[in-house]
Chain A
Amino acid sequence: MEGPGNNPLISLSEGMADVVEKMQPSVVRIEGGRRWPSSGIVYAEDLVLAANHAIEREEDLSVQTDSGRRARAEVIGRDNARDLALLKVESLAASASVDISDTPARVGSLALALGRPSEEGLRANFGIVSAVGSLPGRWRRGRRSRSRTPERYIQADIATYPGLAGGPLVSASGRVLGVVVTGFGRASVLAVPSDVAWSTAERLKESGSTKRGYLGIYSQPVRLPDAARLGFTQEGGLLVAGVGDDTPASRGGLIIGDILATVDNQPVEDTDDLLVILSGERVGKTIPIKVVRGGELRELSVTVGERE
């Protein structure tokens, strides 16, 4: 029989199985709502990172660990934009926390997605990192949003299953590349890069809240007038229905009646687009905003504030 030295397939296989085994204590199962259970990653002592959308309750959550032990958990904070939540779990061992990758994921590298969808144990799926970068925003009322998310995501061609969200995307060396937050189609997954996920977790741990960008306007979706004439391919825009006093918007010169077309060069057709764009990363940044005012295109400059 050939030993591992002769057959690269054997060493590949053993290597992957070793990675999975090492990760076992760090991946938990979370029962958090009416739907499927989801997975979670041990972040630190008594803290678990999870996919926000899968956690439907605030408390009386149940977390099952590798040893089969069940513990009660509650939500400490949520980051809606990144789809991450931090849970406090009764007596979780800190030694189960993981190493994150110190280099960004490389397109083409091997990746394993781990999850704990059932009480039977860890489940592993295998693929490669297919893309890294920003992505189109969410589907909204049946239409894909044209704006791109400000955050980086890792896309990996790995089959999805219910309960996968919240689990780690792991490299060949056993380090966490990211936190899987959703399937993307049926044959790939999206993960928040681990450096982003970990700094989000730290912020949630400290303040329970996420940093949110703020302009200071009330707005609502409208048809963008003269879109074609003004050179836009989008159909909609955001009508400014109110501007707060002494806000980033008022200081930048936005007025009621302006129709926002692009914010930081991202098209905005709905308040959801604006919510995505006004993420914590843009706080303090001075960004261009293109508006339609009185049938004419104007470009304004606004410094994004922070929502308290």
Chain B
Amino acid sequence: MGPTRVFIAAPTPVERAGLKAMLADSRDLRVVGETGAFTGKPGPDIPEADVLVVTNEDVLDEVLAALDDSVIQAIVLFSEESESVRKLRESPLSGWGIVSPDSLPEELAAAVVAAGRGLVVLPHSFAEEGLSVLENSAPDYLSGGVLTPREHEVLELISLGLPNKTIARQLNISEHTVKFHISSIYAKLGAHSRAEAVSLGARTGLLKL
């Protein structure tokens, strides 16, 4: 098995350059490409790559929404949000990892190689919290933490009657991702329509009126 092939998805050229520099010294991996945005459209956005390195949650959402149509098997995400653990765990990836934004180049490289091999990688500080998230199943309405910040934003915009296209434009994400968030919102609230989602959201303290 040759060096792990890495594809970088980060919104700014600076971040992409930084990541490439971090990974340059490792002989176990090779950066094969980069992109600033995930369109979510089917088709080879990505050349043959083993691991996708992603630097923020929005891009992660776009990638997960497009997972069926792409060749991605493993993702490493820079994040501090424990919600990401749930998202990655519930995805059909073969391996994945979360690294803290403060990671050293060696840590990132190790995480990428491990994820590429089908392992799950978490930083130490995350491990305790991450593991308990892995154990929890049902969302707890009363905790107020049912929806992710992004899902919250989408629900607010739905309550204004906005269609998906406008929501996508306002939040600067793809329409595909908006639909992904909406079905997650429906599932979490037990809603079957936009109006029902707004009604249930308001009643369970998720929407300020």
Task: Please measure, in the bound complex, the distance between the C-alpha atom of A52 and the C-alpha atom of B193, giving whole angstroms.
Answer: 11
Q: Scan A263-293; emit 1 where CB is below 8 A from any B CB, else 0.
A: 0000000111011001000000000000000
Q: A56 interface residue, CB < 8 Å from B?
A: yes
Q: A58 interface residue, CB < 8 Å from B?
A: yes
Task: Please measure, in the bound complex, the distance between the C-alpha atom of A77 and the C-alpha atom of B157, giving whole angstroms.
Answer: 11
Contact B161 A204 (CB under 8 A): yes
Which residues from A are CB-within-8-Å of B199?
Answer: 271-272, 275
Which residues from A are CB-within-8-Å of B208?
Answer: 214, 216-218, 242, 244, 247
Contact A56 B205 (CB under 8 A): no
Tell me which residues from 168 to 209 in chain B have a Cβ below 8 Å from any Cβ of chain A. 193-195, 198-199, 202-205, 207-209
Q: Scan A229-259; emit 1 where CB is below 8 A from any B CB, else 0.
A: 0000000000001101001000000000000
Q: B166 interface residue, CB < 8 Å from A?
A: yes
Q: B139 interface residue, CB < 8 Å from A?
A: no
Contact B195 A220 (CB under 8 A): no
Residue total for B at the interface (Cβ-Cβ under 8 A): 20
Contact A220 B161 (CB under 8 A): no
**A115-123, A179-187, A191-199, A205-213: which lies at the B interface?**
A205-213
Interface of A is mostly: mixed
Contact A275 B163 (CB under 8 A): no
Contact B159 A212 (CB under 8 A): yes
Task: Please measure, in the bound complex, the distance between the C-alpha atom of A275 and the C-alpha atom of B208, giving whole angstroms.
Answer: 10
Task: Please measure, in the bound complex, the distance between the C-alpha atom of A128 and the C-alpha atom of B163, giving whole angstroms.
Answer: 36
| B142 closest partner in A (C-beta) | A220
* Contact count band on A: 35 or more
Which residues from B are CB-within-8-Å of A76?
Answer: 163
Task: Please measure, in the bound complex, the distance between the C-alpha atom of A68 and the C-alpha atom of B60, giving whole angstroms.
Answer: 45
Q: B1 interface residue, CB < 8 Å from A?
A: no
Task: Please measure, in the bound complex, the distance between the C-alpha atom of A242 and the C-alpha atom of B195, giving whole angstroms.
Answer: 23
Contact B161 A208 (CB under 8 A): yes
Q: A53 interface residue, CB < 8 Å from B?
A: yes
Task: Please measure, in the bound complex, the distance between the C-alpha atom of A247 and the C-alpha atom of B209, giving whole angstroms.
Answer: 11
Q: A162 interface residue, CB < 8 Å from B?
A: no
Contact among A56, A216, A241, A307 for B160, CB-based, below 8 A: A307
| A241 closest partner in B (C-beta) | B205
Given contacts A80-B195, A217-B209, contact A271 B162 (CB under 8 A): no
Contact A214 B161 (CB under 8 A): no
Which residues of B are at the interface with A, using a C-beta cutoff of 8 A? 159-166, 193-195, 198-199, 202-205, 207-209
Beyond known contacts A209-B161, A217-B208: 19 more, CB 8 A cutoff: A53-B193, A53-B195, A74-B163, A75-B163, A76-B163, A77-B162, A79-B161, A80-B198, A204-B161, A210-B160, A210-B161, A220-B203, A220-B205, A221-B203, A241-B205, A242-B205, A247-B208, A270-B203, A278-B209
Q: List 20 A-B contacts (CB under 8 A).
A: A58-B164, A77-B161, A77-B162, A79-B161, A80-B159, A80-B198, A204-B161, A209-B166, A212-B160, A216-B208, A216-B209, A217-B208, A218-B208, A218-B209, A244-B208, A271-B202, A271-B209, A272-B202, A274-B202, A278-B209
